Amino acid sequence: MVAAEHPRVTVITGGGSGLGQATAIRLARNSDQVCICDLKAEAVNSTAELIRSAGGSVLTGVVDVREQSQVNSWIAQVIDKFGKIDCLFSNAGVNARAMVTNMTLAQWSLVIDTHVTGTFNFCQAALRHMAPRNSGAIVITSSDFAIVGVANAANYCAAKTALYSLTKSLALEFAPHIRVNAIGPGPIDTPLLRANRTPEEFAAARRAFEARLPMKRLGKPEEVAAVVDFLLSDRASFITGQLIQPNGGQVMW
């Protein structure tokens, strides 16, 4: 493995909110050149504003991760500007809860395509630049639900399990020079966790999580960002193909 030349160029998808935003802020503070994209322009701009006001450097993009042409052209911009990609945090995600019998194909495809095809698109585009340099690290946002199921989220569980499998395949395919790991966050207090829930429903969900979790609290996005930072760094230079779970003890295997 070759140590990244300063500044490290780090690409983050889903950088407009939640885990992507917290990670972008943390890595920019570490003086990475961060490149963040999101489906929503205002979201990605608000993260960029937070980074710039703290003195960090950020490139933004509005990208639908499902669309390979959009992914490739934004990655081309990153390469044009910075000449390399050292790290990728493939994190863009979405949820569309429904019982399987009521789940539309659109709901199924939205979740599968965003997580799985989106991560494939970004990994392929980034690895084409990492592989020739024999250097790089990738973290993919999987979930505890890659290990345990949950009702009314068959699409989400299937997607997250696919991401764990993809992680393992990529780890083997690109060893020894490039490391690929997954994270399996538990319930983290992010906009995604609040999405499609009324405040009352979120409060009830939160109480249910807190009762069930050994740590009795939701995680904070910054607590996941710290794990992503660790996995992308040389501190984890002997860790690859693993699922690392900042999950409050929700799943212990």
Q: Does 186 bind other proteins (CB under 8 A)?
A: yes
Least distance in Å: CB of 148 to other proteins?
A: 14
Name the residue among 62, 57, 5 with its Cα closest to residue 31.
Answer: 57
The C-alpha atoms of residue 16 and residue 195 are separated, in whole angstroms, by 14
Rank residues 119 and 181 by Cβ distance to other proteins and give the closer one: 181
The C-alpha atoms of residue 142 and residue 164 are separated, in whole angstroms, by 6
* Three-state secondary structure of 170-236: HHHHHCCCEEEEEECCCCECCHHHHCCCCHHHHHHHHHHHHHHCCCCCCECHHHHHHHHHHHHCHHH
Whose structure tokens read 């973290």?
139
Please, which residues have CB within 8 angstroms of residue 62's CB and are 6 or more apart in sequence?
Answer: 37, 38, 39, 40, 41, 44
Tokens coding 121: 């698109």
Please give the order of strands across the beta sheet that includes 243-244.
58-62, 33-38, 9-13, 87-90, 136-141, 178-183, 243-244
Question: Site for other proteins (CB under 8 A): which residue of 79, 107, 124, 168?
Answer: 168
Question: Quick one: which segment of 37-45, 116-124, 126-134, 182-190 binds other proteins (CB under 8 A)?
Answer: 182-190
Catalytic residue annotation = 156
Q: Does 130 bind other proteins (CB under 8 A)?
A: no
Tokens coding 168: 């393992």
Q: Does 248 bind other proteins (CB under 8 A)?
A: yes
Q: Does 241 bind other proteins (CB under 8 A)?
A: yes
The number of residues that bind other proteins (CB under 8 A) is 38
Q: Does 33 bind other proteins (CB under 8 A)?
A: no
Residue 9's H or E segment, with its range, is: strand 9-13
Question: Site for other proteins (CB under 8 A): which residue of 108, 110, 210, 230?
Answer: 230
Rank residues 14 and 186 by Cβ distance to other proteins and give the closer one: 186
Question: Site for other proteins (CB under 8 A): which residue of 80, 176, 198, 199?
Answer: 176
Least distance in Å: CB of 158 to other proteins?
A: 19
Question: Site for other proteins (CB under 8 A): which residue of 3, 175, 203, 204?
Answer: 175
DSSP 141: E
* SS3 call for 145: helix
Least distance in Å: CB of 214 to other proteins?
A: 5
Span 200-219, contacts to other proteins by CB under 8 A: 214-216, 219
The C-alpha atoms of residue 251 and residue 253 are separated, in whole angstroms, by 6
Q: Does 223 bind other proteins (CB under 8 A)?
A: yes
Q: Does 18 bind other proteins (CB under 8 A)?
A: no
Q: Does 51 bind other proteins (CB under 8 A)?
A: no
Least distance in Å: CB of 143 to other proteins?
A: 14
Report the interface residues with other proteins, using CB under 8 A: 1, 30, 168, 171-172, 175-176, 179, 185-186, 188, 214-216, 219-220, 223-224, 226-227, 229-230, 235-242, 244-249, 252-253
